[in-house]
Amino acid sequence: MTMFKAAAIQMRSGTDVGRNAMEFERMVREAADQGARYVQTPEMTGAIVRDREARAAAFTTEDRDPIAGAAARLSAELGIFVHVGSTAILRSDGKLANRAFLFGPDGRLIATYDKIHMFDVDLDKGESWRESSAYEPGDRSVVADLPIARLGFAICYDLRFPQLFRAQALAGASVLTVPAAFTRQTGEAHWHVLLRARAIENGAWVVAAAQGGLHEDGRETYGHSLIVDPWGRIVAEADHDEPAIVLADIDTEASTAAHRKIPNLKNARDFTSEVIADEPAGLRGAAS
């Protein structure tokens, strides 16, 4: 199969996992009713919680997580692929992982992916984030070979590391995924151009479900969930930060066609790097 309908669900997750799980289920059902065979939700679908103690109380292990449990049930009931963009999962070592889940139409867990790149930044206007203080980074790229497409996984800040997406494209991914909770400040500056660049560079579709709006914990996210085709064209967008569902028909043959037109993956060459110092002429041969 080369054609399927994809949905990117835009949410405004709060601090209550149970309430977010109910909204997650409602929106997944709505997307399926609109014909989506693949449904993606944003980063931190389960909850967005800044306070350390509240965060520790909100999240649990993978086998007990209500979002993962609901996704498994819904995928089987609706006969669709459900991609939980991410939720916080308590690891066996007591640390948290920012983890994505993909469930198949039979309810089976196909793949998980732990966010590799931690959002440790100091932005303008005093906005500062240290994701590594709460989460343990992953260390593996993941590509899932599905009947509908070969799917590459990423989460939010991973978007700024093109080598991850290049590795997935070289592994045959025709659809790249970037569920996110971009801040408003960084989203306004870079969200659209980075997503379009990753699509163009790799000749692949990009599906990016986003968090949007002012959250209960005081965080503000950009929204603007997007689906971008392999030529870099935005084919579907939630042009705001309110909860929404955006849908588009994905034709994986468009990825093959983009590779024929711009065969940069095939034309890439290895090279070495050299830094050459420009020594002022008057100092050449001077005694040291």
CB 228 within 8 A of CB 235: yes
Give the start-to-end residue ranges of the domains of the chain. Answer: 3-263
Mean pLDDT, the chain, as a whole number?
Answer: 93
Active site residue 53: no
Summarize pLDDT for 187-221 with one digit per residue, the tens. 999 999 999 999 999 999 999 999 999 999 889 99
Catalytic choice (23, 25, 95, 156): 156
Summarize pLDDT for 139-170 with one digit per residue, the tens. 999 999 999 999 999 999 999 999 999 999 99
Active site residue 77: no
Catalytic choice (5, 23, 25, 43): 43
Catalytic choice (5, 23, 115, 237): 115
- Which CATH class for the 3-263 domain? alpha beta
CB 139 within 8 A of CB 183: no
> What's the pTM value of the predicted model, to 2 decimals?
0.93
Q: How far is CA 52 from CA 48, 178, 267, in A?
A: 11, 25, 48
Active site residue 156: yes
What letter represents residue 77's amino acid?
Answer: E
% the chain with pLDDT above 70: 93
